[in-house]
C-alpha cells in the first residue's frame, strides 16, 4: 500500500491491536507471546548491515505506547518506550548493551524511519490474522480492564441495549463487510479506499484490502471473503454487494450465511421481496419484530418482517 505517509495509518492500526492486548486479565504472558508471533511475521525492509533493533521490538513498543499516549506523536511514543522496565524489554527481545548491562530502546529517529517505511500489507496480514484467530476460537480472547471514569455515550447505549434486549443464546458469529475511505492517506492517484471485514461483537478488523476507488468494492470484497476461514459465520453487506456471485461465494465455499440489503441495483429481486412481504400488520404479527431506539438527537423505530 503506497501512500504519502504511512505513519498515521500504522499507528491507528497498532492502537487497535493494543486495545485488545493491553491490561489483560487472564494469562497475559500467553497472549503477549501471540502478539509477538504475529508481529514477527511482518517483513523488515531495512538493510541487514548495521541493523541494531529488531523490527518486532519497534512494533510491539509502538503498539503498547499508542494505547497510552494516543497514537498521534512519534516523539511521545519514543518517550514512553524509553521509560519501559528492563524486564519488559528483555521479554520482547530488545537489544542488550553488554557494557552497560541494560536493554536498549530504539531512538526516536529509528521509530520514525521504520514506521514510515513499513510494509503495510504485511502489517495488515499479521494484525488481521491475529484477530481472525480470536474470532474463530483459535486464540484466547483478551480481556481489557475497565477504564475508570464516566462512561462514553456509546458505552451507555450498549449497556442499555444489553439490559433491555439481552442477546439470546446460540447466536451465530457475525462479520460486517464494508468499504471506507482512509482519512489522512493518499496515493499518487488519489485517496485510499479499503474494504474491511469487522466482527460485530468486538469491532475488531479481521481483514482488509485496498481498492482503487468505490467502483472496485465488489471484486475486492469477494477477494477479501475468500481469504477468511470462518465457517458458520453470518456476513452482513450493504446493497452494493447484493449480487449472485457474492451470495453464492458465502453460502458455497465459505459455508456461511448472509444478510444482504435490496435496493435499486437489484430491481427484480426487490420487487419480488416487496410483493412477498406486503400485507396488513395483523397478518404478520408472528413474524414481525419492532424496536425503538433513541440516540444522535432522534428517535427511531425499526420494524422487520420475515418470510421463508
pLDDT of residue 305: 92
Give the CATH number for residue 180: 3.30.420.10
**Are residues 162 and 48 in contact, defined by beta-carbon separation less than 8 angstroms?**
no
Determine, yes or no, domain membership for 200. Answer: yes
User: Which is more confidently placed, 168 or 275?
Assistant: 275
Q: Is 227 inside any structural domain?
A: yes
Do 242 and 174 belong to one domain? yes
In terms of average pLDDT, the best of 158-162, 182-186, 232-236 is 232-236
Confidence of residue 245 (pLDDT cuts 50, 70, 90): very high
Strand partners, 190: 187
Among 9-23, 92-106, 216-230, the least confident range: 9-23
Rounded Cα gap, residues 245 and 232, in angstroms:
19
Residues 100 and 185 in one domain: no
Asked if residue 155 is part of any domain, the answer here is no
C-alpha cell at position 140: 484466547
Do both 104 and 186 map to the same domain? no
Q: 86 and 202: one domain?
A: no
Q: Which of 111, 135, 159 is the last residue of a domain?
A: 135
Residue 299, strand partner residues: 294
Is the predicted pLDDT of residue 4 greater than 50, yes or no? Answer: no
Please give the share of the chain, as a percent, with pLDDT higher than 70: 79
Shared-domain flag, residues 108 and 226: no
Output the pLDDT for position 236. 95
Count of domains for the chain:
2
| Entry pTM | 0.65
Percent of the chain with pLDDT over 90: 20
Name the grid cell of 26: 487472564
Q: For residue 131, which of 140, 119, 122 has the smallest C-alpha distance?
A: 140
Whether 299 is covered by a domain: the verdict is no
Burial zone of 145 (CB within 10 Å; 0-12 exposed, 13-18 middle, 19+ buried): exposed
The stretch 175-190 carries a mean pLDDT of 80
Whether residues 87 and 192 fall in one domain = no
Q: 136: which 3 cell numbers?
A: 474463530
Same structural domain, 234 and 187: yes
Q: Does residue 150 belong to any structural domain of this protein?
A: no
Given a cut of 80, whether residue 66 has pLDDT beyond it is: no
Whether 127 and 70 share a structural domain: yes
Pick from 17-26, 107-116, 237-246, 252-261: least confident: 17-26
55-69 vs 108-116: helix axis angle to the nearest 10? 100
Query: Whole domain around residue 123: which residue ranges?
Result: 7-135
User: Is residue 302 a part of any domain in this protein?
Assistant: no
Residue 235 has pLDDT above 90, yes or no: yes
- Based on the fold, state whether residues 202 and 102 are members of the same structural domain: no
Averaged over 145-168, what is the pLDDT?
Answer: 68
Provide CB contacts within 8 A for 97, sequence distance 6+. Answer: 103, 104
Domain shared by 126 and 14, yes or no: yes
Q: What is the C-alpha separation between 17 and 205, in angstroms, rounded?
A: 9
pLDDT value at residue 24: 40
Express the helix, strand and coil content of the chain in percent, nearest 5 each: 45, 20, 35
Amino acid at each position: 500500500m503506497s501512500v504519502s505517509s504511512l505513519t498515521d495509518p500504522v499507528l491507528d492500526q497498532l492502537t487497535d491491536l493494543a486495545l485488545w492486548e493491553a491490561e489483560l486479565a487472564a494469562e497475559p504472558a500467553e497472549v503477549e507471546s501471540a502478539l509477538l508471533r504475529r508481529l514477527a511475521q511482518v517483513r523488515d525492509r531495512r538493510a541487514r548491515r548495521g541493523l541494531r533493533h529488531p523490527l518486532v521490538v519497534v512494533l510491539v513498543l509502538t503498539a503498547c505506547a499508542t494505547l497510552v499516549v494516543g497514537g498521534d506523536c512519534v516523539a511521545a511514543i519514543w518517550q514512553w518506550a524509553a521509560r519501559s522496565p528492563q524486564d519488559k524489554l528483555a521479554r520482547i527481545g530488545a537489544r542488550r548493551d553488554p557494557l552497560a548491562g541494560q536493554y536498549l530502546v530504539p531512538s526516536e529517529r529509528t521509530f520514525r524511519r521504520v514506521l514510515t517505511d513499513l510494509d503495510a500489507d504485511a502489517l495488515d496480514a499479521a494484525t488481521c490474522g491475529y484477530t481472525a484467530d480470536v474470532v474463530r476460537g483459535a486464540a484466547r480472547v483478551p480481556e481489557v480492564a475497565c477504564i475508570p471514569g464516566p462512561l462514553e455515550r456509546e458505552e451507555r447505549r450498549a449497556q442499555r441495549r444489553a439490559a433491555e434486549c439481552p442477546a439470546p443464546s446460540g447466536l451465530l458469529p457475525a462479520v460486517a463487510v464494508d468499504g471506507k475511505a482512509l482519512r489522512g492517506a493518499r496515493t499518487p492517484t488519489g485517496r485510499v479506499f479499503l474494504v474491511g471485514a469487522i466482527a460485530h461483537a468486538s469491532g475488531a478488523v479481521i481483514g482488509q484490502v485496498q481498492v482503487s476507488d468505490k467502483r472496485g468494492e465488489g471484486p475486492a470484497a469477494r477477494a477479501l471473503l475468500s481469504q477468511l476461514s470462518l465457517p458458520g459465520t453470518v456476513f452482513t453487506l450493504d446493497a452494493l454487494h447484493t449480487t449472485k456471485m457474492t451470495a453464492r461465494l458465502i453460502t458455497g465455499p465459505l459455508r456461511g450465511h448472509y444478510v444482504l440489503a435490496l435496493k435499486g441495483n437489484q430491481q427484480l429481486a426487490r420487487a419480488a421481496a416487496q410483493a412477498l412481504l406486503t400485507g396488513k400488520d395483523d397478518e404478520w404479527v408472528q413474524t414481525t419484530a419492532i424496536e425503538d431506539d433513541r440516540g444522535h438527537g432522534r428517535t427511531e423505530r425499526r420494524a422487520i418482517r420475515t418470510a421463508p
